Every structure is written in structure tokens, then in C-alpha cells.
Amino acid sequence: MTVKIAPSILSADFARLGEEVRAIDEAGCDYIHIDVMDGHFVPNLTFGPPIIKCIRSWTEKPFDVHLMIDPAQAYLEEYATAGADIITIHAEADKHIDRSLQVIKGLGKKAGLSLNPATPEHIIEYVIDSLDLILVMSVNPGFGGQSFLGSQLEKIRRIKSMIGDRNIELQVDGGVSVDNIKTIADAGATVLVAGSAVFNKSDYKKAIEGLHKAVG
């Protein structure tokens, strides 16, 4: 089985962010996962469009921008201009999910919808045909290095069956490691975010290869 690996730069060395992005590119990642946090929707703050713009020239790999911000709609164009390829909003942070997804598509970007651990999957039912990616949060968003919530495996399976033969990526974010990646991929995930499982290792290439190997 082949899955995509999206290292989260949340766990990178922020003082050397450009070099870190180049390093995971050269190590063979598929996407660059960029965690944007606003200190309001989640209890942590990271960065916004200016920093995304600065690291854009360090790689040609897709920028997978995970917006943990509320509100998001007013800022979508700024993230598109800064270099995002995929823009993922949170279902819990948006009263007008359908409209935001149309805005993202109108900007020529891929549209993603993310669900927190307690959010049921039925929220995607009436927007599924506007989605390029569905993100299942397998930790409570805000921090890297937390443990995978096993409760999300059933949700991953259910969403996989809702997707059917549509061309939609199923991304899982939080607590992914060599020890659980196979179970998560077997449940239906096609893109695995890995923060500490890559950046806490000295050899990023080995870490990414190890994740692929564990999937088998």
C-alpha cells in the first residue's frame, strides 16, 4: 500500500525553517504540512501568511495548509497568495463551511475540511463533492507530540466508505508513528501527517522511509 507522508513543520526548528523545509523535501516527503494556529480556536499560536511566503521558495512540494483559526473565511485569499496548494479549514470554526469551500476552489486551490476528535463524520455529507481532502484529527489540535486517539479509527473507516470512489484524500493528523501507521492506513488513511515522528529524528530520510516501510 502506498500512502503520502506530510511532515508537520510545527516540530521543525523555527530558527532554520527554510532549511528544515528543504531537508524534508530532500528526505522524500510528499506534502509540507503547515499548522496555522491562532491562540483562539486552539490554545497555541504559530505563524501566518508572511512566514509561509518566506518558505515558499525552499521547495516545490505542495504546501498543505491546516488552518486552526476562527474565523478562517476572511483570510483564505491571503493563504492562497502566500503559496498554499491545499487549504484545510476546521468544521468547528466555520458557520458557513460550504461557502468557505467554494472560496478556496475559486482561488484555484484544493479544499480540505478537518474534524476534531469529537466532531462526527456526518458533517461532511452535504459538502463531500466540494472536497479534495478530509482531515481526521487524531489528537486535540494545538500541539505536536501527543498520543494517537484510538477512537478515531472507526471514524476513519466510516469516512473512507463515505468517500467511496471519489478522488478525495483522507488525511490523519496527530500521534502518527511507525507503531500505528499501518493500522491507520488499513483503516483508510491515504495521507499521514507526521510531526515528531520525522522532526525528532536526526535522519529525516530514514524516518520517512521507516514510516513507508511500516505500512508495507
Count of residues binding ligand DX5 (CB under 6 A)? 21
Query: Rounded distance, CA 216 to CA 211, Å?
Result: 9
Residue 116 φ/ψ, nearest 5 degrees = -65, 165
CA 36 from chain centre, in angstroms, equals 10
Count of residues binding Zn ion (CB under 5 A)? 3
Residue 59 φ/ψ, nearest 5 degrees = -160, 155
Tell me the closest approach of the beta carbon of residue 126 to ligand DX5, in angstroms: 25
- Are 177 and 184 within 8 A, CB to CB? no
Q: What share of the chain is helix, strand, coil (3-state, %, to 5)?
A: 40, 20, 40
Of ligand DX5, Zn ion, none, which one does residue 142 interact with (CB within 5 to 8 Å by kind)?
ligand DX5
Position of minimal CB gap to ligand DX5: 195
152 binds ligand DX5 (CB under 6 A): no
35 binds Zn ion (CB under 5 A): yes
Contact set for ligand DX5, span 2-31 (CB under 6 A): 8, 10-11
> Any bridge partners for residue 68, and if so which?
37
- Are 89 and 97 within 8 A, CB to CB? yes
Q: Please indicate whether residue 173 is annotated as part of the active site.
A: yes
The one segment of 29-37, 44-52, 161-169, 182-190 that binds Zn ion by CB under 5 A: 29-37
- Are 72 and 41 within 8 A, CB to CB? no
Tell me the closest approach of the beta carbon of residue 176 to ligand DX5, in angstroms: 5
The one segment of 87-95, 156-164, 192-200, 205-213 that binds ligand DX5 by CB under 6 A: 192-200
Dump strand ranges (E) for 58-180: 63-68, 86-90, 110-115, 133-137, 169-173
Q: Which of 35, 64, 94, 132 is catalytic?
A: 35
Amino acid symbol at 32: I
Q: Which is nearer to ligand DX5, 98 or 179 (CB)?
A: 179
169 binds ligand DX5 (CB under 6 A): no
Active site residues: 35, 173
- Point out which residues bind ligand DX5 (CB under 6 A): 8, 10-11, 33, 35, 66, 139, 141-142, 144-146, 173-176, 193-197
